Chains A and B, each alone.
Chain A
Amino acid sequence: MDGRRFSCMMWALLVAFGVALPAAYYAWLMPLEVGDMDPHLFERGIGSPLLAWLNGYLGVLFNYRYLGATNWLVLVPIGMVLATWRRRAPWQRGLVVFYTAALALIGAMGGFNYRYALTLQPLTVATTCVFVWRAFDRKGRSARERGAFVAAMALLGVLNSAASIHYHFRVASVMAAPPPEARPGATLTERLDAGPEDLERWLNAHGVRPTDTVLVNNLPVWYYRTQRPGIYFWCGSDQLFLRDGTHALLAGRSMHEAASLLRDTLHCRYIFSTGELSALSPPFTRFLDEACVPLATDPKGHTLHRVKDTFGR
Chain B
Amino acid sequence: MDERLHFLLVLAITNIGMGGVVAALLLRWNSRLRLPSGAVVLLGLAMGPFLASLLLYHQLLLLPGRSAMAVLGTSVGIVVGLGLMAGRGWTALGRLLRAVPALLRDDVWMRWFAAGTLLMLGIATVLLATKPLVDHDVLEYAVRGRWFLDTLEVTYERHPFDARNGFYYVGLHGHSFPLLFTWDGLWQRFTGATGDLWPRSITLWYTWLLIALVWSVLRQWDRALAFVGVLTMVVPFGFALLLVIHHLDSYRITLFTAMVLLVLVLRERPELPLMLLFGAVLGAQAFIHSTGAILGGVLWMLWLVMHPGPLRVRLVHAGASAALALAFGGVHYVLDTMIGTRWIFKDIIWF
Judge whether B236 and A122 touch: CB under 8 Å. Answer: no
B225 at the A/B interface (Cβ < 8 Å)? Answer: yes
Judge whether A231 and B228 touch: CB under 8 Å. Answer: no
Contacting residue for B242 out of A115, A123, A216, CB 8 A: A115
- Neighbouring B residues of A160 by C-beta, 8 Å: 235-236
Q: Mark A211-231, 1 if CB is under 8 A from B, else 0.
A: 001001011110110011111
Would you list which residues of chain B between 234 and 287 have a CB under 8 Å from chain A?
235-242, 244, 247, 249, 252-253, 256-257, 260, 263-264, 267
Judge whether B165 and A118 touch: CB under 8 Å. Answer: no
Contacting residue for A192 out of B127, B214, B264, B303, CB 8 A: B127
Contacting residue for B291 out of A119, A158, A164, CB 8 A: A119
- In terms of DSSP, what is the predominant structure of the interface of chain A? helix
Quick one: given A228-B165, A241-B170, are A125 and B233 in contact (CB under 8 Å)?
A: yes
Distance between Cα atoms of A126 and B257 in the complex (Å): 10
A145 at the A/B interface (Cβ < 8 Å)? Answer: no
- For B229, the closest partner residue in chain A by CB is A129
Distance between Cα atoms of A113 and B311 in the complex (Å): 40
Partner-binding segment picked from A5-13, A76-84, A149-157, A250-258 = A149-157
Would you list which residues of chain A between 84 and 101 have a CB under 8 Å from chain B?
90-91, 93-95, 97-98, 101
Q: Mark B108-144, 1 if CB is under 8 A from A, else 0.
A: 0000000000000000001100111111100110110
B349 at the A/B interface (Cβ < 8 Å)? Answer: yes
Distance between Cα atoms of A243 and B231 in the complex (Å): 48
- Neighbouring B residues of A192 by C-beta, 8 Å: 127, 130-131, 244
Judge whether A236 and B351 touch: CB under 8 Å. Answer: yes
A15 at the A/B interface (Cβ < 8 Å)? Answer: no
B224 at the A/B interface (Cβ < 8 Å)? Answer: yes
Q: Mark A121-138, 1 if CB is under 8 A from B, else 0.
A: 111011011100110000
A239 at the A/B interface (Cβ < 8 Å)? Answer: yes
Judge whether B228 and A188 touch: CB under 8 Å. Answer: no
Judge whether A193 and B221 touch: CB under 8 Å. Answer: no
Distance between Cα atoms of A165 and B130 in the complex (Å): 21
In this complex, how many residues of chain A approach chain B with their Cβ under 8 Å: the count is 77
Distance between Cα atoms of A98 and B306 in the complex (Å): 11
Judge whether A98 and B299 touch: CB under 8 Å. Answer: yes
Judge whether B143 and A224 touch: CB under 8 Å. Answer: yes
Quick one: given A129-B232, A165-B237, are A237 and B349 in contact (CB under 8 Å)?
A: yes
B218 at the A/B interface (Cβ < 8 Å)? Answer: yes
Instruction: Give the shortest distance, in Å, between B212 (CB) and chain A (any CB).
Output: 11
- Neighbouring B residues of A130 by C-beta, 8 Å: 218, 221, 225
B305 at the A/B interface (Cβ < 8 Å)? Answer: yes
Judge whether A119 and B170 touch: CB under 8 Å. Answer: no
Judge whether A67 and B257 touch: CB under 8 Å. Answer: no
Judge whether B165 and A230 touch: CB under 8 Å. Answer: yes
B222 at the A/B interface (Cβ < 8 Å)? Answer: yes
B167 at the A/B interface (Cβ < 8 Å)? Answer: yes
Quick one: given A133-B221, A147-B224, are A118 and B249 in contact (CB under 8 Å)?
A: yes
- Neighbouring A residues of B325 by C-beta, 8 Å: none
Instruction: Give the shortest distance, in Å, between B3 (CB) and chain A (any CB).
Output: 16
Contacting residue for A231 out of B135, B146, B166, B229, CB 8 A: B166
A244 at the A/B interface (Cβ < 8 Å)? Answer: yes
Distance between Cα atoms of A63 and B238 in the complex (Å): 10
A106 at the A/B interface (Cβ < 8 Å)? Answer: yes
B4 at the A/B interface (Cβ < 8 Å)? Answer: no
Judge whether A97 and B240 touch: CB under 8 Å. Answer: no
- In terms of DSSP, what is the predominant structure of the interface of chain B? helix
A30 at the A/B interface (Cβ < 8 Å)? Answer: no
Distance between Cα atoms of A147 and B222 in the complex (Å): 11
Judge whether A164 and B237 touch: CB under 8 Å. Answer: yes
Distance between Cα atoms of A168 and B237 in the complex (Å): 10
Distance between Cα atoms of A145 and B98 in the complex (Å): 37
- Neighbouring A residues of B166 by C-beta, 8 Å: 213, 216, 229-232
Judge whether B130 and A98 touch: CB under 8 Å. Answer: no
Q: Mark B307-351, 1 if CB is under 8 A from A, else 0.
A: 010000000000000000000000000000000000000010111
- Neighbouring A residues of B305 by C-beta, 8 Å: 94
Contacting residue for A244 out of B159, B244, B294, B298, CB 8 A: B159
Judge whether B229 and A125 touch: CB under 8 Å. Answer: yes
Judge whether A161 and B214 touch: CB under 8 Å. Answer: no
Instruction: Give the shortest distance, in Å, between A284 (CB) and chain B (any CB).
Output: 14
- Neighbouring A residues of B217 by C-beta, 8 Å: 126
Distance between Cα atoms of A244 and B239 in the complex (Å): 39
- Neighbouring A residues of B100 by C-beta, 8 Å: none
Quick one: given A125-B229, A218-B351, A236-B351, are A67 and B238 in contact (CB under 8 Å)?
A: yes
A35 at the A/B interface (Cβ < 8 Å)? Answer: no
- Neighbouring A residues of B126 by C-beta, 8 Å: 188
- Neighbouring B residues of A229 by C-beta, 8 Å: 165-166
24 A–B contacts from the bound complex (CB under 8 Å): A101-B298, A121-B239, A122-B210, A123-B257, A125-B229, A125-B233, A129-B218, A130-B218, A130-B221, A147-B224, A153-B232, A158-B231, A160-B235, A164-B236, A164-B237, A193-B131, A194-B134, A195-B132, A223-B165, A224-B146, A230-B167, A241-B170, A244-B159, A245-B158
Q: A94-B267, A122-B233, A234-B349 are in contact. List 14 more A-B contacts (CB 8 A).
A: A94-B306, A97-B302, A115-B238, A126-B214, A129-B218, A157-B235, A161-B236, A193-B131, A193-B134, A219-B136, A220-B136, A220-B139, A229-B165, A237-B349
